[in-house]
Amino acid sequence: MALVVDTAPFSTTCNSYASLAGMADYVSTRVPDPAVDTAWTTLTTAQKSMYLVNATRSIDSYVEWIGDRYSRDQKLKWPRVNAYVEGFLLDQISFPERVVEATYEMAIWMMANSGEVSIDQSSSYDMIKVGPITIDFNQQALGSAKQYFPDIVAALLKDLGSAQDPDLPGQSKLKIATLHRA
């Protein structure tokens, strides 16, 4: 059975914040790189659906949203109640436009990374030095060196929630470093 994109907020099969038609319009009118539009239009409907559904799932997995879920029966984490931005209550029965746009951008990012939901970050550091104090991390202590969330998506969702790197099972991270005077 083919994956069908459903953007109706209270549908029992709702699986995406963004529609196929909305995505096509977004890449053709708002994305400055014509290669993105070409790449999107050459995908099959099934592939396009997969990118939008997976982008939505990733966003819901990595964002701690403001407010509360509207209903315990809703499939996605939006719509929400008690969600205020700059003192204004957001519409409780639809998806905010910035959530929809973030879904477009997440799908584009995933498409550019061959469907991967994370990419390696080469700019991670392995040592911190402050004056005479040096902390040298081993590979396991550094934790994740992957980016799970593109910066543009985090910027779009700035007032609506905060992006979190996933706490992966078995991931070894430095939790607390304590320095003692010798």
The pLDDT of residue 124 = 46
The pLDDT of residue 52 = 97
- Tens of pLDDT, residues 42-99: 999 999 999 999 999 999 999 999 999 999 889 999 999 999 999 999 999 999 999 9
pLDDT at 4 over 60: yes
Q: How far apart are CA 25 and CA 37, in angstroms?
A: 9
- Tens of pLDDT, residues 109-166: 999 887 555 444 444 445 666 667 666 655 444 444 456 778 889 899 999 998 776 5
> What does the pLDDT average to over 27-46?
94
